[in-house]
Chain A
Amino acid sequence: MASQGIGETGLTDSGPSSHSHHNHNMPYAVYRGINPASTSFINQESSGFDFGELEEAFVLQGFKISNDEAKASLYAAAAATGKPAATLEMFPSWPMRFQQTPREKSKSREESTDSGSLSSRVQPHLEPESPISRKASSDHQQNQLHITHKSQEQQQQLQNMASNNPRTGGLQTELAASKSNSEKKKGAASTSERVLDPKTLRRLAQNREAAKKSRIRKKAYVQQLETSRMRLSQLEQELQRASSQGIFLGGGTTAGSNISSGAAIFDMEYSRWLDDDQRHMSELRTALQAHLSDGDLRLIVDGYIAHYDEIFCLKGVAAKSDVFHLITGMWTTPAERCFLWMGGFRPSELIKMLIGQLDPLTEQQVVGIYSLQQSSQQAEDALSQGLEQLQQSLIDTIATASLHDGMHHMALALGKLSNLEGFVRQADNLRQQTLHQLHRILTVRQAARCFLVIGEYYGRLRALSSLWLSRPRETLIVDDNSCQTITGLQMTQINVTCQAKSSEGANRTMPHVK
């Protein structure tokens, strides 16, 4: 196979099944060869490749390899495998397949000039598309067959783009035009010079969605790699420090980020959702200030509700793969995590927060909202008690596990644990219903303000978390002769430094350090 056979995790629909397709040759896995497995992956996605999306991905720069080292090793790795061309020709080669070769020259020229920055930026996005590009030389035929039956319209789209604009120009305008979600559709529209029928449009949209999802998964995986790498270097540093100074440093590192692929994917999608949230909120803000008509405002509010529905849907998917990630709140910021209830916010508390901010309300609305608060409170209590019951039952099962039938009890316990997903789902269901009911009770304008308030509230809560995490911590180090106030975040380092600075009279349990 001409492919480099690099695998990536979390890039198929079902995380676990993807692992068997992997072939980690390089530390920074980027590409995946087309093998039957990945072909089936593509089939699973039931979409072709949205080249419009791909090109937009070039400049989106939503994802960057965070350090140059990574880029360097990517090139080194690429070169080492003797296929630098695959990286560089990614873009020129792939449209080529649908067009005649004459284009190749101009494309490769263009590509080579900015291949450096582009490739590295683009690689993470390329999972659905890269198999095609990598197969530039060899499985051309296979790809063609593979692609053509799937994405005739992309081919046309691409041809349109390529033929109507000079490549650079086309790329740039495409990319500039498709910076945000709402503009993506515009981008697609501007590329196709001819009118596409609704089915094609729908397919394009589906392709875009699939490409988006794949990008997210790719981001998630690379993010995981990045985190692991950082953690590794942190550990190495600490180890070095410890060995050179003979000090035992334990537990100082950030908690191991051994998150499952399902959790990583969800984290990525959640951060994308947060960005969307910002956008929705600014839309709401401008809409309210501009005093739009109720009809227009209704559209925006409905859009925001759909946005919330989306996160609940995502959480539902995540609950199936990693319920603990949700329920322990590892996807939220620390301040949110502290007040977490069953993997999210507590609807009754949200309403309590809102009641003061929604004036003026009619009496009927007030009654409705108070009744909503009460209902959600009752439902929350019921679910909490159900969860307690589950916990009790689990405790009983594990406690009575003896030597003889331990396995049986553990199996029972496993079964009980699987009920957690149901609870998180019901809690999310409750949250979703509460928001919908709020929407029903309030007028359009009130609802717009209400959602703005909610969004801003959680934004502030998240900001609070960051502020808390980055606050300067003052420590009072007392030794025999002096009190020193040291400011800093690395407690261990501070301790070491202080020991070094302390006078000779200090009691030293640790060896003297320079």
Chain B
Amino acid sequence: MALPVDIEALDKAFSGIGVDEKSLISILTNSNEEHKKSLRKGSSKLFIEDAKGFERSDQSSIKILKHQFKRFRDAVMLSILHPWERDARLIEKAIRKGPKHYNVIVEMACTRSSDQLLGARKAYHSLFHHSIEEHLVTHIKGRERKLLVALVSAYRFDGPGVNEDVAKSEAQILYEAINNGEKNKLLDHEDAIMILATRSKQHLQALYQHYNQSYDKTLAQDLEGEGILKDTVECLCTPQTYFTRVLEAAVKEDADEESKRALTRVIVTQKEQLVKEGFVPNKIQDILLGLYKDFMLASIASGDIK
């Protein structure tokens, strides 16, 4: 008979992000067939009683387990790939998977430097024999298309010398677009898209300040609920807010698979920033498991290695 503590340990080994490999080794290799049977009977998430008299695996739970085991591999791949290939593959996957993943495209386009984004575009050519823009317009028919194409096509100037008058007047343009126009038409607002997609980050950050000062709320607040528009503004103007949001969503109780995957992506690609900003949610220590946890914590710890 398996001890209740073993059943609990087995459950725990699968109940975080990643898998507690050590615990699994210890439980399973020390279990004979009797033990394992009662482990299965006690594990209501993974096994169900089959009519023919055996504990059958619940395939949907097993599928979730596959994701858990895969996390370490994904972390390794994201970490070892050339950043251009890494970002190109992330974009391609996001395009394929659909609207819930478009924020990844925004993230790639807006949080990378101009030259990194160019690099990802080049890698995309080599890997997929099409330009990113081509795939975006082919696979995305919805209204997000315009904004996404514009964002990935940008080669923003990176440097000082913001024209504050222009930043202020463009803040006004955005304000009017959001507050006077129909909010759900924002994605079609040509001027708004041009501003967000062509101006330098420095300019947009100045614009963000002007917006805040002029209208007593932040541009991000005014775009609450506007999906990738809000993501765009955050990624360009206040990236640490965006990443914090993504990380916190990943470690929430009811986080879905996609949110959890974001954890790997953000920690591996942003580790220098994470260390600098010091914004890793404390829950990571508790909720991550096994080798995956080791990899993530070590990534953050080494974040300031150049």
A binds B: no
Seen from chain A, the residues whose Cβ lies within 8 Å of a Cβ on chain B are: none
Seen from chain B, the residues whose Cβ lies within 8 Å of a Cβ on chain A are: none
